[in-house]
Amino acid sequence: MANSVKGVRKAVIPAAGFGTRFLPATKAQPKEMLPIVDKPIIQYVVEGAVEAGIEQIIMVTGWHKRAIEDHFDKHFELEARLEKDGKTELLEQIRKISELANFVYVRQKEALGNGHAVLTAREIVGDEPFLVMWGDEFFQADPCAPAQLISAYEKYGKCAIAGVRIPKEDVHKYGIADVSPVEENIFKINKIFEKPEPAEAPSDLATHGSYLFTPDIFEILENLKPAKSGEIWLADAIDQLIAKRDVYAVELVGAKYYDCGDKVSYLKAVIDHGLSHPDTASELREYLKGLDL
């Protein structure tokens, strides 16, 4: 099977939402640009894709998301100033951002759902398998989450979705998969139950965050009946895909998930990364130890 599948070179990152859960902070800046210590959330997402060998990043944005495009573009004036001031380490960090991948931007002109956002990238993706990763959430894993999905796809030739085990009391927050084992951490998805009550959950395996699709998902999205809200949802397209052929869940090895669209999860990401960042780790650890909790 490994020799019969196309290589995965492209990733679609929908990032066109208004970030209402973080208002007023997101009134004038994209939520994807909120910092985790000294890097915006979306840079962690892009770096994960690039680590897995992705060459082209297709950003689905809106009119209010120019800061994302600017972040991944060159900044000649800043680079010149850093070079003049002899700040070579910072200069290299800034230069690497625009060199991470080939960036392409597509506008989602109306807020018609995350499935519609993925569909807007159809012409650029073409007839290739591709990743979908949200612009405000990421996994910390080794190997990285996209690499684990690509590895499963290369072995089985099946669409794959990232999976993580969730405490029973939290299953109502996620799409929980009814699965059949294939091998080790690979499962065939029979059905995904959206935000079930704990007593009704078929397992504790949440499937979300990172996806690897073949291009036939676009035909499903194009013909998908909108929900009552008038929006097209990727979850509904996945249901139809599962009904047509096998889709696998890859239980990520050594993964920690950060949903930075949620305030508490975002703060956890800031703390965790602050405790591992060389500029902040020591002082932050001492501060947290001294808190009267």
Q: How much is the pLDDT for 293?
A: 86
Structure tokens at 196: 């079930």
pTM as predicted: 0.92
Write the DSSP symbol of residue 29: S
Q: How much is the pLDDT for 5?
A: 62
What is the residue whose two structure tokens read 């995904």?
192
Q: How much is the pLDDT for 4?
A: 56
Do 154 and 53 meet the contact criterion of CB atoms below 8 Å apart? Answer: no
| Cα(291)–Cα(293) distance, integer angstroms | 6
- Phi, psi (5° rounding) for residue 252? -65, 135
Structure tokens at 203: 């397992």
| Cα(154)–Cα(190) distance, integer angstroms | 21
Q: Which amino acid is at 126?
A: G
Report the CATH number of the 8-289 domain. 3.90.550.10
The pLDDT profile of the chain, 293 residues, written as one tens digit per residue, is 444 567 899 999 999 988 889 999 999 999 999 999 999 999 999 999 999 999 999 999 998 999 999 999 999 999 999 999 999 999 999 999 999 999 999 999 888 999 999 999 999 999 999 999 999 999 999 899 999 999 999 999 999 999 999 888 888 988 999 999 999 899 999 999 988 999 899 999 999 889 999 999 999 999 999 888 889 999 999 999 999 999 999 999 989 999 998 999 999 999 999 999 999 999 999 999 999 98
Angle at alpha carbon of residue 155, lines to 154 and 160, rounded to 5°: 70
For residue 207, what are the CA distances in angstroms to 44, 52, 173?
20, 19, 11
Angle at alpha carbon of residue 78, lines to 42 and 25, rounded to 5°: 40
Burial 129-164 (b: 16+ CB within 10 A, else e): bbbbbbbbbbbbbebbbbbbbbbbbbbbbbbbbbbb
| Cα(213)–Cα(210) distance, integer angstroms | 10
| Cα(207)–Cα(175) distance, integer angstroms | 6
Do 247 and 207 meet the contact criterion of CB atoms below 8 Å apart? Answer: no
Q: How much is the pLDDT for 19?
A: 86
Do 135 and 13 meet the contact criterion of CB atoms below 8 Å apart? Answer: yes
**3-state secondary structure (DSSP) of residue 125:** helix
Q: Which amino acid is at 74?
A: K
Q: How much is the pLDDT for 2?
A: 43
Neighbouring-strand partners of residue 292: none
CA atoms within 13 A on the CB side of 73: 10
Q: Where are the domains of the chain?
A: 8-289
End-to-end CA distance of the chain: 54
**3-state secondary structure (DSSP) of residue 70:** helix
The burial class, CB within 10 Å (0-12 / 13-18 / 19+), for 221 is: buried
